[in-house]
Amino acid sequence: MERQADGVDGADGTAAGTTGARPRVVLGVGGGIAAYKSCELLRRLTESGHDVTVVPTESALNFVGAATWSALSGHPVATGVWTGVHEVPHVRIGQHADLVVVAPATADLLARAAHGLADDLLTNTLLTARCPVVFAPAMHTEMWEHPATQENVATLRRRGAVVVEPAVGRLTGVDTGKGRLPEPAEIFEVCRRVLARGGLSRDLAGRHVVVSAGGTREPLDPVRFLGNRSSGKQGYALARTAVARGARVTLVAANTALPDPAGADVVRVGSAEQLRDAVLAAARDADAVVMAAAVADFRPSHYTDMKIKKRDGQGPEPIRLAENPDILAGLSADRPHPGLVVVGFAAETDDVLANGRKKLARKGCDLLVVNEVGEGTAFGTDDNAAVVLGADGSETEVPYGPKEALAETVWDLVSVRLGGAPRTG
């Protein structure tokens, strides 16, 4: 059955919404309650200069009607292939798109896309599109975790689509778990990045990358810890850019206060030991591990169950420290498989390059991103400058700029080292 609408195209026969150089985005909307969140995604896309054609499925219109999509996009909306047949919309919309983003992507829609079905306008569009495609799934946890869905997702990723991991949180009804549509702002970021890199963007498709971010906290008593000033921004930028390049991303986040990047699997940790366990577990089937987290070198050797109290007249008890494991050095020396690319970060205050070279040798990693810590760089800021040192003697300078730019350079260098096709198994 097809919902009638006013036609999909302008009378001049040009692609829906071809207006100058504005990037053409097709927003596919699946039949899930999260469809309402895609109104916000649509608004962000149009307000930032994208020309958006919305292609909902028939069932999506049960949640948000055609009038809403049409009013927000400024274009007519259709769900089936029989509207405006003379303009061949089932082929043309996909052919002319610069990006197709499907949000929410239901289990049914992922299955139809993975199997190449073409039973409505959206699935036809997916088959004819030659541009990057982003899927933002939303469904109940059981449906997401079902092997059928997971295999469909793997198939789509293998073909180069970006499938962002669903967020964890409140689902429809009383359920809580993995399956929420990521926030529209985060999906928008993925779209922006994928568009910015054009068709060349998915060099990490089929890869699993692990990024650690933030700063560890070493507990002293139930209310106190030893910590550091890392915000996690650089690690989050690495995670976001890797998602946009098609990777499956595990982000091990230590004490960060940033919104989860859409598409990354976020594992939250506190201490260095927890971070090590999470990173090593995720590294088993990973292609690359990037240690952007600031890991405490020492922890209080003794944790006190009760809050440490002031002692009248005796002054404070000294804090004794024990050394934490060096996660980066351990992983580099004892890799779960020889193809794993390992990247470290180093924040230095003086003799930056010489200290960086020594650290690279000591840690045994493949790449070391060396920052000079000072005013306006590294901790807590949005911008950074660095030199990326390679174990092969290479030096790549990254001028002062957004942390995303540094992240892209890191992935460029990782991508070269990964070479060829993704590992299987």
Cβ closest to ligand CTP, residue 59 vs residue 381: 381
| Minimum gap (Å) between residue 295 Cβ and ligand CTP | 4
Contacts of 373 (CB under 8 A, 6+ apart): 347, 348, 349, 379
Tokens of 228: 């550091």
SS3 179: strand
SS3 1: coil
Cβ closest to ligand CTP, residue 118 vs residue 220: 220
Cβ-based neighbour number of residue 88 at 10 Å = 15
SS3 206: coil
Contacts of 264 (CB under 8 A, 6+ apart): 165, 211, 239, 240, 242, 243, 249, 250, 251
Tokens of 403: 């942390």
CB 10 within 8 A of CB 16: yes
Spatial separation of the C-alpha atoms in residues 11 and 14, rounded to whole Å: 8
Cβ closest to ligand CTP, residue 250 vs residue 324: 324
Active site residue 228: yes
Choice among 124, 228, 324, 384 that is catalytic:
228
Cβ-based neighbour number of residue 170 at 10 Å = 12
| Minimum gap (Å) between residue 327 Cβ and ligand CTP | 3
| Minimum gap (Å) between residue 233 Cβ and ligand CTP | 15
| Minimum gap (Å) between residue 343 Cβ and ligand CTP | 8
Cβ closest to ligand CTP, residue 58 vs residue 297: 297
Cβ closest to ligand CTP, residue 266 vs residue 293: 293
CA 214 to chain centre: 16
State the DSSP H helix or E strand holding residue 405, giving kind and residue range, or none if neither: helix 403-418
Cβ closest to ligand CTP, residue 102 vs residue 254: 254
| Minimum gap (Å) between residue 318 Cβ and ligand CTP | 22
Residue 226: DSSP 8-state = E
Query: Rule CB under 6 A: which residues touch ligand CTP?
Result: 272, 291, 293, 295, 297, 324, 326-328, 344-347
Q: Tell which residue, 261, 157, 263, has the closest CA to residue 205.
A: 157
Spatial separation of the C-alpha atoms in residues 236 and 118, rounded to whole Å: 37
Spatial separation of the C-alpha atoms in residues 102 and 27, rounded to whole Å: 6
Q: Tell which residue, 83, 75, 87, 79, has the closest CA to residue 25.
A: 75
Cβ closest to ligand CTP, residue 110 vs residue 252: 252
| Minimum gap (Å) between residue 38 Cβ and ligand CTP | 37
CB 239 within 8 A of CB 213: yes
Spatial separation of the C-alpha atoms in residues 153 and 163, rounded to whole Å: 7
Residue 343 β-bridge partners: 290, 367
Phi, psi of 215 (to 5 degrees): -130, 140
Phi, psi of 254 (to 5 degrees): -105, 105
| Minimum gap (Å) between residue 415 Cβ and ligand CTP | 19
Cβ closest to ligand CTP, residue 69 vs residue 379: 379
| Minimum gap (Å) between residue 335 Cβ and ligand CTP | 14
Give the catalytic positions in this structure: 228
